[in-house]
Amino acid sequence: MGRPLVAILTGAGISTDSGIPDFRGPRGVWTLHPEHEKLSTIGYYMTDPEVRRRSWQMRRETYAADPQPNAAHRAIAELDAAGPVALRVITQNTDGLHQRAGLPARKVLELHGTSRSVVCTACGARSSIADAFARIGAGEPDPPCLACGGILKTATVMFGENLDPAVLSEAASIARACTVFFAVGTSLQVYPAAGLVDLAADGGARLVIVNAEPTPYDAVADEVVREPIGAALPRLLRELRPDPGG
């Protein structure tokens, strides 16, 4: 008999302990600064050079802070390394902290892409985020593509862009097949990511929501945890390990 499949959907709330603010929480970026939503909206980004300059600056400040994986990221990687379950992480985050915590990249589905690389919106050329930030530091506040002169952006899915259908399809397959589905640090208000909860519930998975604020799915969850994620998630994941005493 194979190992049970555990799926963990993670949102911005799992990375706040690493110094990366969430978006919609009481102290979220968009809660405190609603105009910042433009910085992650493709229509504004492509048409307004000032939005691009501000977006690059915001991302550069986050990068310079060098956020590190926290206890929740490490607990997920440790569960995977211990081996009692088949584990897959589906993340709405672009920070790469799951991988930096030691979780193999093949076990992480990045629904919204990655902020660790840069892509040209015209020719599709990819380059290093570090190279882009070096150019900004050298005096190019909105660096164009070196290959074709097109507009560069991080390799993230901005508002107004579609998710990669192959990634979304794989995430849906995992949600349908899993035995336990955790939704961690996500408001479950953004679709299609939030719809993965429906797929998991319809497939008979046990649904556990770990989030500071209420979500639209609390009423259908088997367990709702409001404790801080850095404390709650390690405890919940330890419960999935066999008792060493017998």
Q: Could you count the other beta carbons within 10 Å of the beta carbon of residue 98?
A: 27
Pairing outcome for strands 152-156 and 206-210: unpaired
What crossing angle do the helices spanning 49-65 and 129-137 adopt, rounded to 10°? 110
CA angle (130, 16, 171) in 5-degree steps: 80
Strand partners, 238: none
In the three-class reduction of DSSP (H, G, I as helix; E, B as strand; rest coil), residue 40 is classed as helix
Active site (catalytic) residues:
112
Of 95, 113, 111, nearest to 19 by C-alpha is 95
Q: Which H/E stretch holds residue 64?
A: helix 49-65
